[in-house]
Chain A
Amino acid sequence: MKKVLYGLLLSSGPLFSQGIQNGHLSGNFQSNSQLYYEDANLGITSENLPSEKFLINSFANLLYTTSNFSAGMRYEANHNVLLGFDKRYNGEGITYRYTQFNKDGLDITLGNFYEQFGSGMILRAYEERNLGYDNAFDGIRLKYSPFKGLYLKSLIGKQRLYFDKAEGIVRGFDGEISLNESFESLSDIKTQVMIGGSFVSKFQKDLDPIFILPENVASWASRFSIYHGKWMVGAEYVYKYNDPSATNNFIYKEGQALLANLSYSKKGFGLSLAAKRIDNMSFNSDRNLSGQEVSINFLPALTKQHTYALATIYPYGTIANGEMGLQADLNYKIKKGSLLGGKYGVGILANFSNAYSIHKSPINEDTAIGASGTLGYTSDFFKVGDDKYFQEFSLEISKKINRKLKLIGTYLNTHYNSNFIVGYGNYGMIKAGIWVLETQYKLKPKHSIRTELQHLKTAQHEGNWAMGLIEYTVSPHYFLAIQNLYNYGNKINKTHYPNISAGYTKNTTRFALGYGKQRQGIFCVGGVCREVPKSNGFSLSITSSF
Chain B
Amino acid sequence: MKKTLISILFILANTFCFAQTKNTTLPSVSIKSIEGKTINTDSFENQGNPIVISFWATWCKPCAKELNAISEVYDDWQEETGVKVIAVSIDDSRNAAKVAPFANGKDWPFEIYIDANSDLKRALNVNAIPHTFLLNANKEIVWQHTSYLDGDEEELYEEILKL
A binding-site residues for B, Cβ under 8 Å? 2, 6, 9-10, 13-14, 16-18, 20-28, 30, 61-65, 67, 70-71, 73, 75, 93-94, 97, 114-116, 119-121, 126-127, 151, 176, 178, 181, 192, 194, 225, 227, 232, 234, 259, 261, 263-272, 274, 298, 300-302, 304-307, 329-333, 347, 349, 440, 442, 445-448, 450, 473-476, 478-479, 505, 507-510, 524, 526-530, 543-546
Give which listed residue, A24, A450, A476, contacts B151 with CB less than 8 A: A476
- A528 touching B125 by the CB < 8 A rule? no
- B155 touching A270 by the CB < 8 A rule? no
- B130 touching A126 by the CB < 8 A rule? no
- A446 touching B7 by the CB < 8 A rule? no
- A543 touching B11 by the CB < 8 A rule? no
- B15 touching A263 by the CB < 8 A rule? no
B80 to chain A, nearest CB (A): 19
Give which listed residue, B128, B143, B154, contacts A446 with CB less than 8 A: B154
User: Which A-chain residue is minimally distant from B148 (CB atoms)?
Assistant: A527
Q: Which residues on B sit within 8 Å (CB–CB) of A508?
A: 131, 144-146
Chain B interface residue count: which class?
35 or more
Give which listed residue, A30, A225, A450, contacts B36 with CB less than 8 A: A225
- A529 touching B104 by the CB < 8 A rule? no
A181 to chain B, nearest CB (A): 7
Chain B, residues 101-137, CB within 8 Å of chain A (1/0): the string is 1111111000000001111001111111111000000
A192-B35, A234-B36 are known; give 8 further A-B pairs, CB within 8 A. A21-B18, A24-B19, A75-B5, A270-B103, A270-B104, A274-B97, A300-B92, A507-B146
User: Which A-chain residue is minimally distant from B109 (CB atoms)?
Assistant: A267
- A16 touching B62 by the CB < 8 A rule? no
Query: What would be 27 A-B contacts, judged by CB atoms less than 8 Å apart?
Result: A10-B7, A26-B124, A64-B12, A65-B123, A70-B123, A75-B5, A114-B119, A120-B93, A126-B118, A151-B38, A192-B36, A194-B37, A259-B93, A267-B107, A272-B101, A274-B97, A305-B58, A305-B94, A307-B59, A442-B151, A446-B154, A447-B151, A450-B150, A475-B151, A505-B147, A529-B129, A545-B146
Q: Which residues on A sit within 8 Å (CB–CB) of B138?
A: none
A179 to chain B, nearest CB (A): 11
Q: Which residues on B sit within 8 Å (CB–CB) of A333?
A: 105-107
B binding-site residues for A, Cβ under 8 Å? 1, 3-5, 7-8, 10-12, 14-20, 24-25, 27-28, 35-38, 58-62, 92-98, 100-107, 116-119, 122-131, 143-152, 154-155
**Lowest 6 A-B CB distances belong to which pairs?**
A270-B101, A331-B105, A475-B151, A270-B105, A527-B147, A448-B150
User: Which B-chain residue is minimally distant from A441 (CB atoms)?
Assistant: B150
Known: A331-B105, A508-B146. A448 touches B151 (CB 8 A): yes
Q: Which residues on A sit within 8 Å (CB–CB) of B27?
A: 65, 70
A171 to chain B, nearest CB (A): 19
Give which listed residue, B17, B107, B125, contacts A545 with CB less than 8 A: B125
Give which listed residue, A67, A265, A505, contacts B28 with CB less than 8 A: A67
Give CA–CA (A546, B152) in the complex, Å. Answer: 20
- B14 touching A543 by the CB < 8 A rule? no
Give which listed residue, B95, B103, B119, B154, contacts A305 with CB less than 8 A: B95
Q: Which residues on B sit within 8 Å (CB–CB) of A268?
A: 104-105, 107
User: Which A-chain residue is minimally distant from B42 (CB atoms)?
Assistant: A67
- A476 touching B145 by the CB < 8 A rule? yes
B111 to chain A, nearest CB (A): 15
A347 to chain B, nearest CB (A): 7
Known: A9-B11, A120-B92, A301-B94. A446 touches B150 (CB 8 A): yes
Give CA–CA (A6, B139) in the complex, Å. Answer: 37
Q: Which residues on A sit within 8 Å (CB–CB) of B92?
A: 120, 126, 298, 300
Q: Which residues on B sit within 8 Å (CB–CB) of A272?
A: 97-98, 101
Q: Which residues on B sit within 8 Å (CB–CB) of A306?
A: 59
Known: A25-B16, A302-B94, A305-B95. A475 touches B11 (CB 8 A): no
B69 to chain A, nearest CB (A): 10
- A473 touching B11 by the CB < 8 A rule? no
Give CA–CA (A121, B96) in the complex, Å. Answer: 13
Known: A126-B92, A448-B151. A232 touches B38 (CB 8 A): no
- A227 touching B146 by the CB < 8 A rule? no
Majority DSSP secondary structure for residues of A touching B? strand
User: Which B-chain residue is minimally distant from A475 (CB atoms)?
Assistant: B151
- A13 touching B10 by the CB < 8 A rule? yes
Give CA–CA (A478, B27) in the complex, Å. Answer: 31
A314 to chain B, nearest CB (A): 16
User: Which B-chain residue is minimally distant from A442 (CB atoms)?
Assistant: B150
- A234 touching B97 by the CB < 8 A rule? yes
Q: Which residues on A sit within 8 Å (CB–CB) of B150?
A: 440, 442, 446, 448, 450, 473, 475
Give CA–CA (A20, B152) in the complex, Å. Answer: 38
- B8 touching A97 by the CB < 8 A rule? yes
- B1 touching A446 by the CB < 8 A rule? no
Known: A116-B117, A543-B127. A271 touches B101 (CB 8 A): yes
- A530 touching B128 by the CB < 8 A rule? yes
- B105 touching A265 by the CB < 8 A rule? yes
Give CA–CA (A529, B60) in the complex, Å. Answer: 7
- B147 touching A331 by the CB < 8 A rule? no
Q: Which residues on B sit within 8 Å (CB–CB) of A6?
A: 3, 7
User: Which B-chain residue is minimally distant from A446 (CB atoms)?
Assistant: B151
A343 to chain B, nearest CB (A): 13
Q: Which residues on A sit within 8 Å (CB–CB) of B101?
A: 263-265, 270-272, 329, 331
- A347 touching B128 by the CB < 8 A rule? no
Give which listed residue, B20, B62, B116, B125, contacts A527 with CB less than 8 A: B62
Q: Which residues on A sit within 8 Å (CB–CB) of B119?
A: 114
Q: Which residues on B sit within 8 Å (CB–CB) of A271?
A: 101
- A194 touching B36 by the CB < 8 A rule? yes
- B97 touching A232 by the CB < 8 A rule? yes
Give CA–CA (A264, B102) in the complex, Å. Answer: 10
- A479 touching B149 by the CB < 8 A rule? yes
Q: Which residues on A sit within 8 Å (CB–CB) of B17?
A: 17
Give CA–CA (A329, B100) in the complex, Å. Answer: 12
Q: Which residues on B sit within 8 Å (CB–CB) of A21?
A: 15, 18-20
Give CA–CA (A93, B2) in the complex, Å. Answer: 9
Give which listed residue, A119, A176, A270, A507, contacts B145 with CB less than 8 A: A507
- B105 touching A476 by the CB < 8 A rule? no
B127 to chain A, nearest CB (A): 4
User: Which B-chain residue is minimally distant from A307 (CB atoms)?
Assistant: B61
